[in-house]
Each structure stands twice: as structure tokens, then as C-alpha cells.
Chain A
Amino acid sequence: MFNLTQIEIDAFYLTIKVALFSIAICLPTGVTVAFILSRATFPGKWLLDGLIHLPLVMPPVVVGYILLILLGKRGVVGEWLFQTFDITVAFSWKGAAIASAVMAFPLMVRAVRLSLDSIDRGLEAAARTLGSNKIKVFFTITLPLSLPGVIAGTILAFARSLGEFGATITFVSNIPGETQTLPLALYNFTQIPGDQTPAIRLLIISLILAFGALIASDVLARRVNKRLGLNAGERD
């Protein structure tokens, strides 16, 4: 029962890899966009806000298809990427990471923005009166104080990437060892009549991964809250 086949092992590692790369894309861009949405006012802000949230409300298959049109080998951006940098993302794990990142992006932005909105802007003003320019204020005050949101966003994005199915299968297909992540492999096994043990094994692995992410998020959140002085249990 617990002897994993090569296909399953590949799917496991690939899922982790895709999720990590997805976060690597989401985190810096998500924090930047969240900061812009939270702090700046400019014409067309509602449009940016809407665009970012599109993947949340559109069917994932549609998102995958848009990615295929844009980033496919003959796509507008894909062709340019291939000719200039010799990079192909379609039908590779990189594409899977991009699909996951796009799907997870709004979750990341929302969580971080919520956290940024709740920061007392007066603290940033105080830091400026103490000689910090805007960049230093961001890294010493704004970012540390929004850490709970950044962590929540990261865990959400990680979990979303673990479960990404529709956009991935549409954009990069279901290639074992290359783009076949856990949900895709699980789907595959359920389509084969007969022995269900491989599917059950993947189900258990998925459960463990998701649960692990939740626990990790909880532990991190506690630590950060303590560091931020949000609980008063620290008197000495």
C-alpha cells in the first residue's frame, strides 16, 4: 500500500517545486501590488484592482486558455520569450508554476492588502519624522507590521498552488514527470478502471501536505504576533 511508484514520487516533488516557484513569483509582485493598491491613488486604480481579481472569479480553464494564447510558443508573449531568451513555458513545469502563480496571485494580494490597510499610517509618519525616507519606512515599519498578512497570503497561495488543476491542465497539459502535479496525477488514476490504491495514496499525500501547510501557517503566525507585540503576555 505504501510503496510509491515513480510516477507518484515525481508528482509529489513536482507539486512542491511548482508551488514553491509559484510563491517565488507571487510574493514579491503580490506585496508590491498590494502596497500600490493600499497606498496610492491614481486614475484607473479600479481597473488594476479588477484585473488582479479576475482569476478568482473566472473559470480556471479560461485562465489556462488565456495563458496558452499569450504564452504558448506561438503566443504574443511566448514567441517573444522564445526568440529573445530561448525560454519556452508551455507544456513545461515552468508553465505550471506560472499558471499556479496567476491563480494564487489575487489571494496573496488580498491578504497582504488587508494587513497593509490595517496598519496605523501614523506610525509611518512617525518614522519619517525620525529621519527615515519612504523606502526605509517600508522595510523597517510597513513590511514588518504587515508580516501576518504576508504569511497568511503565502500559505494561501501555496495551498492554492498545491490544488491548482484547471488552469494547469489547460495551459501545460498532463505530462508525467513534467507537468503532472498531484491533483493531475490523482485525476489520471481515477480515470483508470480497477485498482484504486494509487489514487488513495495520492489523496493521503495531498491531505498531509495541506495539513502541514496549515500547521506551519499557525506556528508562524503565533511567532510573528509575539514579535509584533500583539499579545500582552510578555511583561517581565
Chain B
Amino acid sequence: MIEARFNVNRKDFTLQVDLVLPGTGVTALFGQSGSGKTTTINVLSGLVKPNSGFISIDGNILFDSDKGINVATEKRGFGYVFQEGRLFPHMTVEENLLYGMKSNVAPIPSQKETVKLLGLTKFLHRKPVSLSGGERQRVAIGRALLCTPKLLLMDEPLAALDAARKQELLPYISKLKDILNIPIIYVSHQTQEIMNLADTIVLLENGRVLQQGPVDEIINNSKITPYFGENLKSSFIKCIIDNNDHDTSVTNLKFDGGSITTTILKTPVGSSVRVRIRAQDIAISIEQPQDISIANIIEVMIQTIEPSGEGFVDLSLIAKNTVFWARLTKTSVTNLKLTPGRVVYALFKSTAIEVLGH
């Protein structure tokens, strides 16, 4: 468990953080640029000294302004993957990887496994200058892992890469999550990365923590949805793969309140995934439609109707313990006489389901 309460006061910026983060899994620090994400992990790593506060990991105090404790960066034992990689240009890839390795501790995964996992075998004797952005970030990740960190800090490791490189690197980071037993703190302002990776979300705004909690609880919170863009208002639903039907090329997913159908996935049966359905992709029917091509028809109860932008309203719909969001025109709501408490059917095509990973 990581406890961090601190203040950083600068001329034009104040950061006031009070966090308790779990000792496992990925915590995403989320927020717009200038919200204090990077400063927060710099404080955790010891690179920035807060004006006051207290930081501990698993009971070990790293910083305590009252007692005058400030453990030096190099003694904190945190791995740090920077946005720009920061590989040492005068060393080969292999020398970079070995730089932080301790002679008396064997890293897990081992040096060999790390090199293989990150696909670095053929680059070992090259200099960073001859690598692509994605390759450099893989080396940076490997270098941070081989110093056997107690905690891995990642500062927008994909931000400096183009879309293709991002897609190339994301699976590596997902794999890490499964292999490592250490907590990861991941800074990002990209919804997709966070949906794919995070277990816990911390939302920062103007140097304050606005929200923190498990991703499924927080994701449909009205405070956090604006960050995903008003047009991106979505339902995020946790599902378990029920079966992959290769004959009809569909996958059935179970959620707390029913089941949905999507185009076939490669994910094995039984694994849990998170899916996203945009509010604008959900339609409402008062009666259960027959003879319709739409694969997903779910009985729901209207919970709230709230205005959203010009001529539109957002409806929150409850199916047992799951919330769906639907965006309709005001005219539709009037014509259908939709009111909170009414039972209706939510309709969406299987192609409207976006699977985000586990």
C-alpha cells in the first residue's frame, strides 16, 4: 500500500495530494496537462521534494517533513519509465539495460526473460540513436524492470509515439501488468490506455485529487465522464466471456444484469474484459422489438434523464447492477413519454461494442 499526502507550492502552481493507493495492480493518474500528474510521480520518485507531507510504501517511510526524513531517489528503489525514454546515448542497449541492475539481487523476470519479453534480443549491441521511438521505450521499460523496483512509475510512456507505435507498445505494457507483482503507477491522459490498463483511477484537476477509486466504480462517475469528452459519453461494463461461437463468429459476454453479443474475440472463455458502448450508439424502444437485426436488446429501467448539449438528453438505464448511458434527442423523449422509473428496452448493434482489454 502506498500512502502519499503532500503539498508542492510553486509560484504558479500548487499541488495538494492525498492518496492511498493499493499495493498491486495498475493505478492510472489521469487528468489534463498541467493537472499535476507528472509532478506527483516525481515527488513519489524523490526527484521533486514536496514542501511538506508524508509518503510511505508498505509502511516504510520515504518522506516525512515533520521528522525531517527524505530518502534519496537512488535509495527508494522505484523504477521510472519517462515519457521520452531517457536512454543513455553513450551506452549500447545492453549497457542501458544493465545500468541499474544490482549485483546481489536477481531480477524477476530475469535479464534473459525481460529481453525476450520486450523483444530486444536483436538490438542489444546497438546505440539508442539507431532505434525507433517504440524500441527505445521498450529498452526504457526493460531498464527500469531490471533494477528490481518495488514500484514502477510510468509517465505517459506512449505519449511521444505515433499511433502505430502506440499499438505496437501497448500489448507489451499489458503483458507487464500480468507478469509483475509490483504496483504500477501509470500517468496518462489517454482514455484508451487507461481503459486497457488501469485497475484504479486517480483523477487530478488543477493540482488536486478530484476522484480516486477502483476503475469500475469511478468510470461512470459524472465528475470523470467530461474528461472522456462529451461526445464520448459511454457505458463501461465489466463482462466475462461466456462462449466464443466460431460457427456464427460471435462471442457472448455475461455482465451483471444480462448478456450481450459481439463479433468474435480471441480472448479465451472465462476471462474478464471491460467493454465500452457509446451513449450515442444506444437506442430505446418501449416495447420489445421483434424481427430486428440488432443483436443486443436489454430490458432496463430509466433512472435519470439529464440534459446534455443542444437538443440532447442523456438517460441512465439500470439493468440489475449495471448502468448504461443512452443519448437521445429531446423530441424522442417527449414523443415516447420517457420518464424515470419506466421500463424500456436498450438496443445496440454488436459492432457498437468496443472491447477494451482486461
Contacts and interface: CB of A to CB of B under 8 A. Distances in A.
B86 interface: yes
B73 A128 contact: yes
Interface string A106-142: 0000000000000010110111111111000000110
B125 interface: yes
A130 B100 contact: yes
A74 interface: no
A143 to B, nearest CB: 10
7 contacts: A120-B86, A122-B82, A130-B143, A132-B74, A144-B90, A231-B129, A232-B130
B229 interface: no
Interface in B71-124: 72-75, 77-80, 82, 84, 86, 88-90, 99-100, 102
Interface of B: 45-47, 72-75, 77-80, 82, 84, 86, 88-90, 99-100, 102, 125-130, 143-144, 147
Given A130-B100, A133-B74, A235-B126, A123 B88 contact: yes
Contacts, number: 74
Contacts of B99: 127, 130, 132, 140
A145 B82 contact: no
Contacts of A230: 89, 129
Given A232-B129, A234-B129, A128 B90 contact: no
A127 B99 CA distance: 8
A236 B126 contact: yes
Q: Determine chain B's interface SS by DSSP, over half rule.
A: loop
Contacts of B82: 122, 126
A231 B89 CA distance: 10
A133 B126 CA distance: 26
A144 B91 CA distance: 10
B159 to A, nearest CB: 15
B112 to A, nearest CB: 19
A227 interface: yes
A131 B146 CA distance: 11
Contacts of B45: 129
Contacts of B86: 120, 122-123, 125-126
B90 A130 contact: no
A175 B45 CA distance: 61
Given A120-B86, A131-B77, A229 B47 contact: no
B125 A131 contact: no
B125 A122 contact: no
Given A130-B100, A131-B75, A132-B99, 15 more contacts: A122-B84, A125-B73, A126-B80, A128-B72, A129-B78, A129-B100, A130-B143, A133-B72, A133-B74, A227-B90, A232-B130, A234-B127, A234-B130, A235-B126, A235-B130
B77 A229 contact: no
Interface in A214-236: 227-232, 234-236
Contact of A131 (B47, B84, B102, B127): B102
Contacts of A123: 86, 88-89
B130 to A, nearest CB: 5
B147 A131 contact: yes
A170 B89 CA distance: 47
B126 A129 contact: no
Contacts of B88: 123, 126-127, 141
B90 A229 contact: yes
A6 B293 CA distance: 107
Contacts of B77: 131
In this complex, the member of B45, B72, B90, B99 whose beta carbon has the largest number of chain A beta carbons within 10 angstroms is B90
Contact of B89 (A125, A229, A235): A229
B89 A129 contact: no
A123 B90 CA distance: 11
Contacts of B73: 125, 128-129
Contacts of A145: 89-90
A131 B74 contact: yes
A53 B45 CA distance: 39
Contacts of B75: 131
A141 B88 CA distance: 8
Contact of B127 (A122, A140, A229): A229
Contact of A229 (B78, B100, B129): B129
Contacts of A125: 47, 73, 86
